[in-house]
A and B are shown apart, each in its own frame.
Chain A
Amino acid sequence: MAFEVEEIPGEAKLFLRVHEQHYVPSNDPTVKRPSSACFKDPNLSVNWAKYSSPKETAKPSSAAVVELVAQDCRSLQQTVIHCPIQEGEKDGPNQAHSEIRGPKEKSTRHMFVQRSKVVWVRNNIPV
């Protein structure tokens, strides 16, 4: 049975994987943070927490997973759309798949970093 497209509420949590190339030192050398570069895609793929978890969102090359809140994304002039991937489609099935759509200028990408929260980190990630 095909996944239905649902309305994502404002308080919904969204998980974004952070590739190891995009997990960089912060001002505190013992703490890493996502680079703004991981928010550049105008159609940014995320997983809706209703159907996924941070661990399920990670891929082998992920250093971390960050959490975003849908209404925070919308406040940055983005649309947040549930677009589940059906069985048989590329990278499917994934009922959680959603997209944060909209132009992401450099300042907007930095605002995404500010609004994101690291919720999963791969074990033994070098600092």
Chain B
Amino acid sequence: MLANSNQTQKLSPELEARLNELSLLKNGWNEEDAVQTNPDAVEAARNALRHLSLLRPFQAPSIVPTFDGFLQLEWHNAIRSLEFEYTPEMWAILGVADVNTGHPIYNTASAPLIAMEELEKFYFWFSTDELIWPSK
């Protein structure tokens, strides 16, 4: 549920600081061949988080760089995991249910980079007891 519809929502200082930190990574940041963070990936993550942070409840994700210069948002709780991985074409999405049972269930999807309502559905699946993986 949206707390309000203010699309100029500011991110928390912690999330903004994390995005700034990631935007400063340079080539070889992992002491090997990792590529510096693509500014488009940072901006896409910022836009997605501005939207998702309007939801209640909202849990801030971990934001991690990938070796090829992109970003991944990830959430974990006791039974589910959710990942949004930025690619230049789309968000690649993974949802894992029953993560600690030994028989996890893997769900995948993709969403256009500007499709905030779709990201919202996947986040809703993660943050509630919703059983059905969102489909288009």
CA distance A61 to B78 in the complex (A): 29
Q: Does B43 contact A (CB under 8 A)?
A: no
Is A106 touching B104 in the complex (CB atoms < 8 A)? no
Tell which of A6-14, A36-44, A95-103 binds the partner: A36-44
Classify the interface of chain A: helix, strand, loop or mixed. mixed
Q: Does B108 contact A (CB under 8 A)?
A: yes
Contact of A21 among B30, B32, B77, B99 (CB under 8 A): B30
Interface size on B, residues (CB 8 A): 26
Q: Does A25 contact B (CB under 8 A)?
A: yes
**Binary interface profile of B, 1-37, with partner A (CB < 8 Å = 1, else 0)?**
0000000000000000000000001000111100000
Q: Does A107 contact B (CB under 8 A)?
A: yes
CB of A75, distance to nearest CB on chain B (Å): 15
Contact of B66 among A37, A59, A110, A114 (CB under 8 A): A37
Is A107 touching B76 in the complex (CB atoms < 8 A)? no
Is B78 touching A22 in the complex (CB atoms < 8 A)? no
Contact of B62 among A25, A60, A114 (CB under 8 A): A25
CA distance A61 to B29 in the complex (A): 9
Is B78 touching A106 in the complex (CB atoms < 8 A)? no
Residue of B nearest to A32 (CB): B62
Contacts of B29 in A (CB 8 A): 21
Tell which of B50-58, B67-75, B114-122 binds the partner: B67-75
**Binary interface profile of B, 57-89, with partner A (CB < 8 Å = 1, else 0)?**
000001011111000101011100101010000
Q: Does B92 contact A (CB under 8 A)?
A: yes
Could you list 11 further interchain pairs (A-B, Cβ under 8 angstroms) beyond the known A37-B66, A61-B30? A21-B29, A21-B64, A25-B76, A27-B78, A33-B76, A35-B64, A36-B74, A40-B66, A40-B67, A59-B31, A110-B104
Interface residues of A (CB under 8 A from B): 19, 21-22, 24-27, 33, 35-37, 40-41, 45, 59-61, 105-107, 110, 114
14 pairs of residues in contact across A and B, judged by CB atoms under 8 Å: A21-B64, A21-B65, A24-B64, A24-B76, A26-B76, A27-B99, A35-B72, A35-B74, A36-B83, A105-B108, A106-B94, A107-B94, A107-B108, A110-B83
